[in-house]
Amino acid sequence: MICKKIRFKDFRNISEADIELCPEVNIFYGNNAEGKTNALEGIYLFAHGKSFRTSSDKDMISFDKDIANCKLYFEDSVRSHDMEIKLIRGSRKICQRNGVVIKKMSDFVGYFRAVLFCPEHLSVIKDGPSERRNFLDSAICQLKPIYLASLQRYNNILNQRNTLLKNYEEDRQSFDRTFDLWSAYLAREAALIARERYEYVKVLDGYVNSFFNDMTSGRESTKMDYSCALTEEEYLQKLTNNVEKEIKAGTTLYGIHKDDIDIYLNGKEARSFCSQGQQRCLALAMKLGEGEISRSVTGEHPVFLFDDIFSELDSKRKEYVTNGIKKCQVIITSCEKEGLERVAGNVIEVTQGKYSRIK
């Protein structure tokens, strides 16, 4: 899969731009706050239907404008495609694929696929479980639109159930009438999501160990497991056997929103024992593994997006990223000029939302 061109109008600090990309390595070079990450954010938007920097679409619209337009031109092994997103202040965004309006986000996500690696991901090993759950959900949603729909249903049901628990004393009638139904619905969606996560981690485990082993010259090994997956009956049992505890807490205490990935380094729990360097290698290996799973499922590699990670990686990892990922399109942002002349690809200088190819 190759992103050929991205077109912006009134997106962040980009008043207007057409950025053409090569099939290999592309580097957006420039100082901070010039617009490098904005371009990556726009590309990511087509893969996930949302930003990786904000939960509000209006934040991506230029400050003094009401509408922002992004259009992506890409090709896969079958044909060329175009996708367009119009962000409207005070309204829902409008998404199109090959000129056809797509109303459901689960029908939009997954046609263009991209793997993002940014500084926030470097702490996915040592940060809390929500970071690792977000990693799984983001990766699986691109491959299985049905998973995204199930995740949306789960979150809606969870909100309904939490409201009943929170308002138990004030509205016992609603609780008694509907609580068991919401619990059953939640257990059903939880089992579907947990099964997908379990299967994904089982495959990811092999890729991560292979990449990490390669990066450490065979000195270290990893192990990943999602052992918390339960059946629908098991989830329902937890939800019905602990109602008093949940009423006291005022929230749902059991379900896939509490799960985690167990990650081990050389037989020890990585979260407690890995160094900062090992943490970065593991995070990078997880992202590369995500790309390999995408390739194995769809038949082609996704586009890799690396946002400002050169300053966080040593020279060996930098070379691994720029030269070690074969047969993939890679798009990188960097503040560092040193070494760009050795990159076999495209170097684009970014200044105040304007993009100029310098190599």
**Residue 55 CB contacts under 8 Å (≥ 6 apart), including other chains:** none
Q: Which residue has the tokens 């074969």?
A: 326
Identify the three-state secondary structure at position 164. Answer: helix
End-to-end CA distance of the chain: 23
Q: For strands 262-265 and 268-269, give the pairing.
A: antiparallel
| Spatial strand order in the sheet of 354-357 | 114-117, 303-307, 330-334, 25-29, 345-351, 354-357
Q: For strands 345-351 and 25-29, give the pairing.
A: parallel
At residue 42, the pLDDT reads: 96
Instruction: Give the residue ranges of DSSP H helices in the chain.
Output: 36-48, 105-108, 129-143, 145-166, 172-215, 232-241, 243-249, 270-273, 276-298, 315-324
The amino acid at residue 8 is: F
In the CATH scheme, what is the homologous superfamily, with its name and number, of domain 1-113+302-359? P-loop containing nucleotide triphosphate hydrolases (3.40.50.300)
pTM of the model: 0.90
pLDDT in tens, the chain (359 residues): 999 999 999 999 999 999 999 998 899 999 998 999 999 999 999 999 999 999 999 999 999 999 999 999 999 888 999 999 999 999 999 999 999 999 988 899 989 999 999 888 888 998 999 999 999 999 999 999 899 999 999 999 999 999 999 999 999 999 999 999 999 999 999 999 999 999 999 999 999 999 998 888 888 899 999 988 999 999 999 999 999 999 999 999 999 999 999 999 999 999 888 888 888 889 999 999 999 999 999 999 999 999 988 777 777 777 777 666 777 899 999 887 666 666 667 899 999 999 998 87
Report domain extents, the chain: 1-113+302-359, 124-296
Q: For strands 25-29 and 330-334, give the pairing.
A: parallel
CA 219/CA 124 separation, integer angstroms: 22
CA 3/CA 231 separation, integer angstroms: 40
At residue 355, the pLDDT reads: 94
Q: φ and ψ at 242, to 5 degrees?
A: -130, 30
Q: Which two tokens stand for residue 246?
A: 């949940």
Domain 124-296: CATH architecture, name and number where available:
Up-down Bundle (1.20)
CA 77/CA 243 separation, integer angstroms: 52
**Residue 173 CB contacts under 8 Å (≥ 6 apart), including other chains:** none
At residue 245, the pLDDT reads: 96
Sign, CA torsion 297/299/305/306: positive
Q: Which residue has the tokens 């190599």?
A: 359
